[in-house]
Amino acid sequence: MNLSKLALSAFLLAGLALPLSAQVTLKRSAVVYCGNASNTTAPATIDETKAKEATKEWKKIQADGIDQDSAQGKQLLQQINNKVREAVKTVASDESRDLVVRKDDISDKKGRDVADLTDKVVTKLGE
Protein backbone atom coordinates (compact mmCIF):
# COMPACT_ATOMS: atom_id res chain seq x y z
CA MET A 1 0.00 0.00 0.00
CA ASN A 2 2.83 2.44 0.81
CA LEU A 3 4.44 1.66 -2.53
CA SER A 4 1.26 2.60 -4.41
CA LYS A 5 0.97 5.88 -2.46
CA LEU A 6 4.59 6.66 -3.26
CA ALA A 7 4.00 5.87 -6.93
CA LEU A 8 0.89 8.07 -6.99
CA SER A 9 2.77 10.93 -5.32
CA ALA A 10 5.61 10.64 -7.82
CA PHE A 11 3.11 10.61 -10.70
CA LEU A 12 1.36 13.73 -9.39
CA LEU A 13 4.63 15.58 -8.86
CA ALA A 14 5.78 14.65 -12.36
CA GLY A 15 2.48 15.96 -13.72
CA LEU A 16 3.04 19.28 -11.99
CA ALA A 17 6.55 19.53 -13.39
CA LEU A 18 5.48 18.98 -17.00
CA PRO A 19 4.26 22.53 -17.61
CA LEU A 20 7.64 23.85 -16.49
CA SER A 21 9.53 21.74 -18.99
CA ALA A 22 7.25 22.51 -21.94
CA GLN A 23 8.23 26.15 -22.34
CA VAL A 24 9.00 28.36 -25.31
CA THR A 25 12.15 27.87 -27.31
CA LEU A 26 14.31 30.85 -28.15
CA LYS A 27 16.65 31.22 -31.08
CA ARG A 28 20.31 30.82 -30.21
CA SER A 29 21.07 34.56 -30.60
CA ALA A 30 17.88 35.74 -28.88
CA VAL A 31 17.82 39.10 -27.14
CA VAL A 32 16.00 38.72 -23.82
CA TYR A 33 14.89 42.02 -22.31
CA CYS A 34 13.44 40.49 -19.17
CA GLY A 35 12.37 37.13 -17.84
CA ASN A 36 13.42 33.56 -18.45
CA ALA A 37 12.27 31.20 -21.19
CA SER A 38 12.52 28.14 -18.98
CA ASN A 39 9.64 29.15 -16.74
CA THR A 40 7.52 31.58 -18.74
CA THR A 41 3.76 31.40 -18.84
CA ALA A 42 3.12 34.75 -20.55
CA PRO A 43 5.78 35.58 -23.16
CA ALA A 44 5.88 38.74 -25.28
CA THR A 45 8.00 40.38 -27.95
CA ILE A 46 9.04 43.85 -29.03
CA ASP A 47 10.29 45.25 -32.31
CA GLU A 48 13.75 46.36 -31.24
CA THR A 49 14.18 48.77 -34.16
CA LYS A 50 10.93 50.62 -33.48
CA ALA A 51 11.71 50.89 -29.78
CA LYS A 52 15.22 52.18 -30.47
CA GLU A 53 13.93 54.72 -33.00
CA ALA A 54 11.53 56.12 -30.38
CA THR A 55 14.37 57.39 -28.18
CA LYS A 56 15.77 60.91 -28.30
CA GLU A 57 19.26 59.42 -28.28
CA TRP A 58 18.63 57.57 -31.55
CA LYS A 59 17.17 60.71 -33.07
CA LYS A 60 20.35 62.56 -32.06
CA ILE A 61 22.55 59.90 -33.67
CA GLN A 62 20.57 60.22 -36.88
CA ALA A 63 20.24 64.01 -36.90
CA ASP A 64 23.89 64.69 -36.07
CA GLY A 65 25.31 61.83 -38.15
CA ILE A 66 27.10 60.37 -35.15
CA ASP A 67 29.18 57.29 -35.92
CA GLN A 68 27.83 54.44 -33.78
CA ASP A 69 31.35 53.10 -33.35
CA SER A 70 32.65 56.40 -31.95
CA ALA A 71 32.89 57.00 -28.21
CA GLN A 72 29.84 59.31 -28.32
CA GLY A 73 27.92 56.84 -30.48
CA LYS A 74 28.64 53.97 -28.11
CA GLN A 75 27.60 56.11 -25.15
CA LEU A 76 24.32 57.00 -26.82
CA LEU A 77 23.68 53.37 -27.79
CA GLN A 78 24.23 52.33 -24.17
CA GLN A 79 21.71 54.95 -23.05
CA ILE A 80 19.25 53.68 -25.68
CA ASN A 81 19.65 50.09 -24.49
CA ASN A 82 19.15 51.09 -20.85
CA LYS A 83 16.03 53.14 -21.63
CA VAL A 84 14.49 50.41 -23.81
CA ARG A 85 15.21 47.76 -21.18
CA GLU A 86 13.63 49.86 -18.41
CA ALA A 87 10.57 50.65 -20.54
CA VAL A 88 10.19 46.96 -21.40
CA LYS A 89 10.39 45.94 -17.74
CA THR A 90 7.73 48.48 -16.78
CA VAL A 91 5.37 47.54 -19.60
CA ALA A 92 5.91 43.81 -19.03
CA SER A 93 5.02 44.23 -15.38
CA ASP A 94 1.94 46.31 -16.23
CA GLU A 95 0.84 43.68 -18.77
CA SER A 96 1.66 40.66 -16.55
CA ARG A 97 4.22 39.34 -19.03
CA ASP A 98 7.06 37.30 -17.56
CA LEU A 99 9.31 37.12 -20.63
CA VAL A 100 10.03 39.75 -23.29
CA VAL A 101 12.32 39.04 -26.22
CA ARG A 102 13.15 40.67 -29.52
CA LYS A 103 10.53 40.09 -32.20
CA ASP A 104 11.03 36.81 -34.10
CA ASP A 105 13.40 35.40 -31.45
CA ILE A 106 10.78 32.92 -30.22
CA SER A 107 11.15 30.04 -32.62
CA ASP A 108 8.53 27.77 -31.07
CA LYS A 109 5.52 29.31 -29.37
CA LYS A 110 4.05 25.96 -28.23
CA GLY A 111 0.54 27.38 -28.49
CA ARG A 112 1.05 30.27 -26.11
CA ASP A 113 -0.34 33.73 -26.69
CA VAL A 114 2.78 35.77 -27.46
CA ALA A 115 1.85 39.44 -27.20
CA ASP A 116 3.58 42.23 -29.11
CA LEU A 117 4.36 45.02 -26.63
CA THR A 118 6.10 47.31 -29.14
CA ASP A 119 3.46 50.06 -29.23
CA LYS A 120 3.22 50.19 -25.45
CA VAL A 121 7.01 50.30 -25.08
CA VAL A 122 7.24 53.09 -27.69
CA THR A 123 4.55 55.03 -25.79
CA LYS A 124 6.44 54.52 -22.53
CA LEU A 125 9.66 55.75 -24.13
CA GLY A 126 7.85 58.89 -25.30
CA GLU A 127 6.74 59.85 -21.80
Q: What is the pLDDT of residues 71-101, one digit of tens each?
A: 999 999 999 999 999 999 999 999 999 999 9
Q: 0.85 cut: is pTM over it?
A: no
Residues 80 and 66: beta-carbon distance below 8 Å = no
Please tell me the distance from the alpha carbon of residue 58 to that of residue 76, in angstroms, as a whole number. 7
Domains and CATH numbers, the chain: 2-125 (3.30.910.20)
Q: What are phi and psi of 97, to 5 degrees?
A: -105, 130
Q: What is the pLDDT of residues 30-76, one digit of tens each?
A: 999 999 888 888 899 999 999 999 999 999 999 999 999 999 999 99
Distance from first CA to last CA of the chain, Å, rounded? 64
E-state strands within 11-90: 25-26, 32-35, 43-46
Q: Exposed (0-12), middle (13-18) or buried (19+): which is 127, by Cβ within 10 Å?
A: exposed
Q: 21 pLDDT exceeds 50?
A: no
